[in-house]
């Protein structure tokens, strides 16, 4: 099945999205410093979202064209075999046209979140058949995207969260 063009990618969790995806999206919205402004990485308070921390990952966005460097990965990602370590670049593990990198470049340029549910592109545990992910833009200056707050939920072949 072909992927829709970027302008058709969901920028908010659709009805039926996983509760953790909805929760992080609402939290991110609550951090916005004003209309048209984006929250920064410094605005995130882990104490406010303890039930989401194991599914969260943070990515720095560097340069032009943007490169995506891992900053932090929650325990659920490590448990599911997500192998990127702090300081490693996602594009060292993916091809430029792989959907996740396309999503992240779109996020950096559009300043809009990107929601996704489907097959995982990165290698994960064999029990994982599908993921649901949202990537949310962050900007130190409120405008220029320089990081992403991401949350991924992993699902087994029978549809249960891992």
Q: If we measure between CA atoms, which residue out of 3, 6, 5 comes closest to residue 107?
A: 6
* Integer CA distances (angstroms), 116 to 7, 32, 43, 50, 81, in order: 14, 22, 24, 23, 19
Domains of the chain: 17-37+51-155 (3.30.450.20)
In this structure, are residues 131 and 117 in contact, taking their beta carbons and an 8 Å threshold?
Answer: yes
Q: What is the pLDDT of residues 46-63, one digit of tens each?
A: 999 999 999 999 999 999
Q: Quote the pLDDT of residue 78.
A: 86
Which stretches in the chain have pLDDT values below 70?
Answer: 1-7, 121-126
19 SS3 class? helix
pTM across the whole model: 0.91
Tokens of 6: 């970027």
Q: Quote the pLDDT of residue 61.
A: 98
Q: What is the pLDDT of residues 136-153, one digit of tens each?
A: 999 999 999 999 999 999
């Amino acid at each position: 099945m072909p992927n829709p063009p970027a302008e058709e990618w969901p920028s908010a969790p659709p009805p039926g999205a996983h509760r953790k995806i909805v929760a992080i999206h609402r939290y991110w919205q609550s951090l916005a410093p004003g209309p048209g402004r984006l929250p920064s990485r410094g605005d995130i308070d882990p104490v406010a979202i303890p039930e989401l921390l194991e599914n969260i990952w943070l990515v720095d966005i560097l340069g032009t064209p943007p490169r995506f460097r891992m900053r932090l990965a929650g325990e659920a990602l490590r448990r599911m075999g997500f192998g990127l370590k702090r300081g490693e670049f996602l594009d060292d593990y993916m091809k430029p046209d792989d959907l996740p990198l396309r999503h992240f470049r779109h996020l950096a340029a559009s300043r809009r979140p990107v929601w996704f549910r489907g097959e995982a592109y990165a290698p994960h545990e064999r029990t994982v058949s599908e993921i649901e992910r949202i990537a949310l833009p962050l900007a130190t200056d409120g405008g220029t995207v320089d990081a992403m707050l991401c949350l991924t939920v992993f699902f087994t072949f029978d549809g249960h969260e891992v």
